[in-house]
Structure 1
Amino acid sequence: MAGVRTTFIRATFAALDRSGANRALRSRAQGLGAVLTLHHVRPWAEKGFAPNRLLEITPEFLDLTLTRARALGFDFVSLDEAWRRVTTGVSYRPFLHLTFDDGYRDVRDNALPILERHGAPATLYVTSRFASHTGEIWWLALEEAISRARRVYVDLGRGEAVVDTGSDAAKQEAWNAIYWRLRAGPYDTLLNEVRRLGDGQTVDPLGFARELCMSWEELRAVSRHPLIAIGAHTVSHPILAKLDDAGARDEMAEGRDAIQRELGLEASHFAYPVGDRSAAGPRDYAIAAELGFTTAVTTRPGHLTKAHAAMATALPRVSLNGHFQTPAAIDALLSGTPFLGLRALRHR
């Protein structure tokens, strides 16, 4: 069930492909290379209500992406090597590095064999409570609560009201209203409201981490793989911008400390949960620098250029989005063409 924005982006990718713009503009748009953002890699189970579809791609699409990247001349490199190329401003071939947020088990089971086949290094950004199976993956809990319900009772700004969720279309409409209202408010309110909605549908808030995320023992094994590095992704996956200074610093530092304690590894790279401009900003970038992270990545879109050498804790990434699993999308994202306008605006 594609929204207007999704439909527009798909059409843009197709138009860039048909017009030859990706090839024509690649030399201007590509930068030194790119870091990809991924979450789940698993076969798609068709369903009518899937608001978190953007967070998963199929194994076949990952394989196609890496095959196409190799054909376009990309080097597959570690994050340390990618950062070295950014700081020197030299990359004779464009580089590509893959990052997987949250620590999902399907990354090990479905993505890692593909990474091995292509020789592509990756960083797994681990949320420590997800690995302990004591964290709440609230966006999945909210999806499940709406999915199970025929109606929900919720305050959308005009007092408590009954919201129809009896059809897939109604569920999506309810999601759009509830999710964005909660995202705009205090973080504690978001968590409490998702718990309340989940309780009404007997949703176990901790069940998603147990079912989907690698345990520390599993991470210990996968971290020994030569293609895999482990990065930090906070303790509980909060929206950092909604926390006070001490809360944000504790989430970042203690998440890294948990990795050191459980895996015996120094996590020198960090990813901001959610990672857009509403979720992490200059204060959080400064905290990441104070804590000594070598790099910290956002989900703001873009390729990496030499200018990013001065922005070590505010780096952009390129999302492989489940809504856009086409060859045209791959070529557009790897060319950097969709991000040219964003770069121009930033340099005004």
Structure 2
Amino acid sequence: MRLLHVSGAHRLVAPLTRGLGVILTFHRVRPAVHDSFAPNAGLEISPPFLDLLLHHLRAQGYAILSLDDALDVVRSARRHAQPFAVLSFDDGYRDLVDHALPILERHRAPFIAYLTPGFADRSARLWWLELEESIRRLSHVDITVAQRRIVSRCASPQEKQAAFTEIYWAIRDGDEAALLAVVADLSARAGVDAREIATHGCLGWDAIRSLAQHGLATIGAHSLSHPRLARLDAAAARREMAGSRARIREETGVTPRHFCYPVGDRTSAGRREFDLAAELGFESAVTTRPGLIFPEHRAHLQALPRLSVNGRFQSLAALDVLLSGAPFALLNRGRRVAA
């Protein structure tokens, strides 16, 4: 990234590597929280940066399109007069309405919100936020993950970050039940209320119903409870995918036509999940595999890549390097589709 930025080489190859456009991934949009222990900071950007980013996209010649309009471009296999950018927001955080929506309205920027009904119901767990809050409150951790004992002092922010990182990746290696059990154990020790985290952090159904009627919004499904679908058996994965669409339709009257795989990396969604999304009739489904959109993706609409706007790097210079497609051309060894 640094070499491309300094050399400017990404600008030279962009006409070949930029493709038709990009689907941008956002999670939380809220005022900056200056906390020395912020392990989930990569999932957050500030409202001023979102405003700056939207100005910048249009200044760079991007058309901000709804997902449906962007898919029309992909299906037509004809390059649009402008490269497109689709704005996608995962999970259904309150910040989308409280902080992002006024900016999106000001820019007249369409977007898609991928919603998890379990967060709106307060029955599913934002385990990554539970883990963060638990370690914030604890001064010492002694826990077993898959027969591996993890003992960590958690007094300083640096120690807390190290403990979070070690536990996070240890539980990511296991199945969903084990992951949730470990986080529940830590939450119990720290006095963290999982339901309260969902209530405080995520939109309820009244707000979602209002959002579903907004002229700029498209509503997508993001599973019932946000599990890594590839870690479930086929029947359970199907229930999560189909059930999220049914639950959103029941509450809002809107039937989601697009799906977002929770976590969405190669260990969380693969060929089986892509085939399930197509079988269930979703017109598209997005991953978190990094990449831009090319005409060849018309044959892989249930395995679309996205570009995550990382809160640790709120930099237009870094964004420009990524939007050029050059890093992904190198990462994927020249393959346009890595589905």
TM-score by length of 2: 0.96
> Aligned residue for 2:26?
38
Report the Cα distance in structure 2 between the residues aligned to 1:154 and 1:96, rounded to whole angstroms.
44
Contact 2:140 2:154 in 1 (8 A): yes
Residue 343 of structure 1: how far off its partner (Å): 3.7
> Aligned residue for 1:155?
144
**Shift in CA distance, 243/93, structure 1 to aligned 2, threshold 3 Å:** same
Report the Cα distance in structure 2 between the residues aligned to 1:262 and 1:156, rounded to whole angstroms.
38
> Aligned residue for 1:315?
304
Match of 1:80 among 29, 44, 68: 68
CA RMSD of aligned residues (A): 1.4
* Structure 2 gaps, min length 5: none
Residue 161 of structure 1: how far off its partner (Å): 4.7
**Shift in CA distance, 24/283, structure 1 to aligned 2, threshold 3 Å:** same
Contact 2:74 2:298 in 1 (8 A): yes
Report the Cα distance in structure 1 between the residues aligned to 2:221 and 2:281, rounded to whole angstroms.
12
* Structure 1 gaps, min length 5: 1-11
Report the Cα distance in structure 2 between the residues aligned to 1:36 and 1:161, rounded to whole angstroms.
36
Residue 66 of structure 1: how far off its partner (Å): 1.1
Q: Could you tell me the percent identity over the aligned residues?
A: 47
Match of 2:185 among 196, 218, 223: 196
Residue 267 of structure 1: how far off its partner (Å): 0.1
> Aligned residue for 1:183?
172
1:289 aligns with 2:278: yes
> Aligned residue for 1:121?
110
Report the Cα distance in structure 1 between the residues aligned to 2:306 and 2:148, rounded to whole angstroms.
39
Name the SS for the 1:234 alignment partner.
coil
> Aligned residue for 2:50?
62
Contact 1:137 1:206 in 2 (8 A): no
> Aligned residue for 1:240?
229
**Shift in CA distance, 17/246, structure 1 to aligned 2, threshold 3 Å:** same
**Shift in CA distance, 290/192, structure 1 to aligned 2, threshold 3 Å:** same
1:278 aligns with 2:267: yes
CA deviation profile, 1:206-240 (whole Å, cap 9, x unmatched): 11110011111101111111110100000000011
Contact 2:146 2:174 in 1 (8 A): no
Contact 2:145 2:171 in 1 (8 A): no
Name the SS for the 1:344 alignment partner.
coil
Name the SS for the 1:278 alignment partner.
coil
> Aligned residue for 1:6?
none
Report the Cα distance in structure 1 between the residues aligned to 2:223 and 2:192, rounded to whole angstroms.
24
CA deviation profile, 1:115-145 (whole Å, cap 9, x unmatched): 1122211000000011112221101001111
> Aligned residue for 2:59?
71
CA deviation profile, 1:30-76 (whole Å, cap 9, x unmatched): 10000000000011111111111110001111111111110111111
> Aligned residue for 1:24?
12
Residue 345 of structure 1: how far off its partner (Å): 5.0
Contact 1:86 1:306 in 2 (8 A): yes
Report the Cα distance in structure 2 between the residues aligned to 1:117 and 1:338, rounded to whole angstroms.
32
Report the Cα distance in structure 2 between the residues aligned to 1:155 and 1:306, rounded to whole angstroms.
47
Residue 22 of structure 1: how far off its partner (Å): 2.9
Name the SS for the 2:24 alignment partner.
strand
Contact 1:125 1:233 in 2 (8 A): yes
Contact 1:156 1:177 in 2 (8 A): no
CA deviation profile, 1:254-300 (whole Å, cap 9, x unmatched): 00000110000010000000000011110011100100000000000
Name the SS for the 1:131 alignment partner.
helix
Report the Cα distance in structure 1 between the residues aligned to 2:275 and 2:196, rounded to whole angstroms.
34
1:108 aligns with 2:88: no
> Aligned residue for 2:254?
265
Count the aligned residue pairs: 336
